[in-house]
A and B are shown apart, each in its own frame.
Chain A
């Protein structure tokens, strides 16, 4: 198969983690690549869904009590924990204020940049089914709901990272 220069400049990220620090890493890579004209796909699955939920805080969402509890406890964008030294969520706030102070893009700014740079945002169909969530429970910038087969197709001939 001939891989052209254009096709090879593609980065696809599976964002499995819903940790704040890993989300920062994922969006830094994604926006950095998009800024130098890479085609970028971000596929949010499982805990990663928390990053792109429409409601930023905790909401009792999803079909049934267990799914509702699970979604309430995991929360949204504002509740993303640090993967280490979380201290009940205070670390995320301290880290964000440090990022502002040191003039580094915050996670919010990174996600806005991702949208501005036309990064393709996808969500995992299977995790949505498990958690009883629907497309309307996510930010409107989500392009499509995908399964593995479609993701493989989209990420073909590029680089893929699992975060």
Chain B
């Protein structure tokens, strides 16, 4: 479901725009960047916000 939400947000963006997604470690953090790359989006960076919370920047 996390990627479903991400994908719906990405669809609203124009090419070149960046989406910031806040994710928990584990399954979402493993799969969201992977699925995004598979679909031709670019991962600009993954940074730890605090604890097991991460920020992923995805470029459309």
Chain A interface residues (CB < 8 Å from chain B): 28, 31-32, 34-37, 104-105, 110, 113, 116-117
Structural contact, A37 and B1, CB atoms closer than 8 A: no
**How many B residues touch A, CB cutoff 8 Å?**
11
CB B53 to nearest CB in A, in angstroms, measures 12
Whole-angstrom CA separation of A110 from B5 in the bound complex: 10
Structural contact, A105 and B4, CB atoms closer than 8 A: yes
Structural contact, B3 and A105, CB atoms closer than 8 A: no
**Residue among B3, B4, B7, B38 having the largest count of chain A Cβ atoms under 10 Å:** B4
Chain B interface residues (CB < 8 Å from chain A): 1, 3-8, 11, 35, 38-39
CB A26 to nearest CB in B, in angstroms, measures 13
- Closest residue of B by beta carbon distance from A32: B4
CB B49 to nearest CB in A, in angstroms, measures 15
Interfacial chain B residues near A110, Cβ < 8 Å: 1
Interfacial chain B residues near A113, Cβ < 8 Å: 4-5, 8
CB B34 to nearest CB in A, in angstroms, measures 10
